[in-house]
Structure 1
Amino acid sequence: MPEALEVILRTVFAVVVLFFLTKVLGKRQVSQLSFFEYITGITVGSLAAYISLDTDKTWHLGLIALIVWVAFSLGIEYLQIKSKKARDFIDFKSTVLIKDGKILENNMKKEKLTTDELLEELRKKDVFKVADVEFAIMESDGAINVLLTRENQPLTPKHLGIKVAPESETQAVIMDGKIMDEPLDTLNLSRGWLEGELEKLNLNVENVFLGQVDSYGELTVDLYTDNVEVQQPQDKPQLYALLKKCEADLELFSLSTKNKEAKQMYENTSEQLQTLLKRLKPFIQN
């Protein structure tokens, strides 16, 4: 067999083997790596290259070494799952870099981290002032996580004592010009409804690169042709979406108020609006 052809065949074989062995090692091998996983990735890649290029008769030894290394890595990962002491010994422990707005210089030296590097990592988290940081910690994979002081944290409904109704996930119902039936079923919608919405926009499914439906039942589309302007929805569907939003707002007001009379009023109004929407739905969604 010609040497070039042999290298090609071995390379294809090595890629296939490496793909399946990487699948066995799991998703962490392609995301943030720990210290040991970093070593594993380099070694496995080197062994795969050896299998591809070694034209001697000993190339199969590289395959054996690759399988042994992957098996050893799986054993180490199992040991880490079972033992906290093993995790701390094999991987680095987390290190506190900032506490109560003050930099811990000894820990910075221990991690061989300069002030410029720390400030750069803080800026990546949209933090420009060390005094605003309650707690900053370097994880075992080298990432730095930051907790701001309470007065510098963004306000949320929870801080205001407001309970927010859960929001449904936006579903992609058209992808690459094809209708996705499973997301439509999740939203309790049909192909007929989707085709009707597209007809209102003077569009065909084949023209749509991506179509999404939000929790209010509103369809938004991105077309293959970027310079074509999508026709705005008609007034009746917009009215239905607006009424649905009003219903959701009334439920939110009902949950957030502590006044019993106001709470009862919001609940009654929300129920009346729900009844009205059921009656109007056949007319304002056409």
Structure 2
Amino acid sequence: MQAYLDVVIRSVSAILLLLLIAKILGKQTISNMTFHDFVTGITLGAVASNLAFNKNIKSSYMILALIIIAGTSLLLSVIALKNHKMRKWISGSPTVLIEGGRILEGNMQKVRFSMDSLDQALRGNGIFNIEEVEYAVLEDNGMVSVLKKEKYQYVTKKDMKLHLQPQSFPLELIMDGTPMENNLKNNGLTEEWLEAELNRKGKKISDVFYGVRGTQQQLVFDFYEDGIQKPVDQE
């Protein structure tokens, strides 16, 4: 029984420590990772798994190792921010794969990036015809950024000289059927106002699964009762 309890304590400690370290290192560690983030993530995972299950190694050693790894990673992040040359070594640097509409085979071989991978990355950017591409860049986080040739680029409102309306950040009003009191209060809104808006639609707050005020101040509500008798993905 003691052995099981020890595993539980070590496992919970490992999770809590990793959460704390991730909080300290910042959101970049859990986003699309650079070389530095990838190495840090794998190393932390390996040490944490040993902390949880390897009883042959003292917990204090594993905790110390996690602290040292986190500290080293944080130090490297600071160095990368301050020094451009070190940043390229620590985090990597972008590689141009297509320039002026021409595929750079040498660069692709250098980073071991195949045509299949390039085609897949272009499709992920909504491009199925490679002749649409002016530039494609393999970023240091492994993602491919694409600039289309001018004749294939989308027309914007600015291009068409249309009247531009000011936009605001979407404001969540109701989530899981519960009014977001802080959001309402911080934006000068009340539950009474929200109820009045819903009454116009013949609904109540309890009928709403999710409600949001959009970028153009429009109100959008999703109700629990969708009126869909046979959802497509439900058997």
Same fold (TM over 0.5): yes
Residues 211-243 of structure 1: per-residue CA shift (max 9 Å, x gap):
2234665433212233389xxxxxxxxxxxxxx
Say whether residues 1:61 and 2:46 are aligned partners: no
Amino acid at match of 1:79: I
- CA change 1:17–1:162 in 2 (3 A) is same
Aligned to 1:83: 83
CA distance in 1, matches of 2:57, 2:214: 60
Give, in angstroms, the shift of residue 145 of structure 1. 0.3
State how far apart, in whole Å, the 1-side matches of 2:51 and 2:199 are: 57
Deviations 1:150-194 (A, max 9, x none): 111000122234451212334221222222234435654433222
- Name the structure 2 match of 1:119: 119
Percent identical across equivalent pairs? 33
Tell me which amino acid in the other structure corresponds to 1:52: A
Q: Highest Rg: 1 or 2? A: 1
Q: 1:56 to 1:108 in 2, by over 3 A?
A: closer
Question: Against the structure 1 CA distance between its residues 50 and 216, is the aligned structure 2 distance closer, same or farther, given a 3 Å change threshold?
Answer: closer
Given the alignment of the two structures, is residue 192 of structure 1 paired with residue 205 of structure 2, yes or no?
no
Match of 1:11 in 2: 11
**Higher relative contact order, chain-length normalized (CA < 8 Å, sep 6+):** 2
1:76-155 alignment to 2 at 5 Å?
Answer: 76-155=76-155
Give the Cα separation in 1 of the matches to 2:216 and 2:76. Answer: 48
- Normalised to the residue count of structure 2, the TM-score between the two structures is 0.88
* Higher mean displacement: 160-169 or 66-75: 160-169
Question: What CA RMSD, in Å, does the superposition of the two structures yield over aligned residues?
Answer: 2.1
- The runs of 5 or more residues in structure 2 that have no matched partner are 230-235
User: Does the CA contact (< 8 Å) of 2:98 and 2:134 recur in 1?
Assistant: yes
Correspondence for 1:203 = 203
Structure 1 stretch 73-82 or stretch 17-26: which is displaced more?
17-26
Give how far 1:204 is off. Answer: 2.1
Q: How many residues align?
A: 229
SS in 1 for 2:118: helix
Q: CA deviation at 1:80?
A: 0.1
Which residue pairs with 1:37 in the alignment?
37
SS at match of 2:9: helix
Unaligned runs of 5+ in 1: 230-286
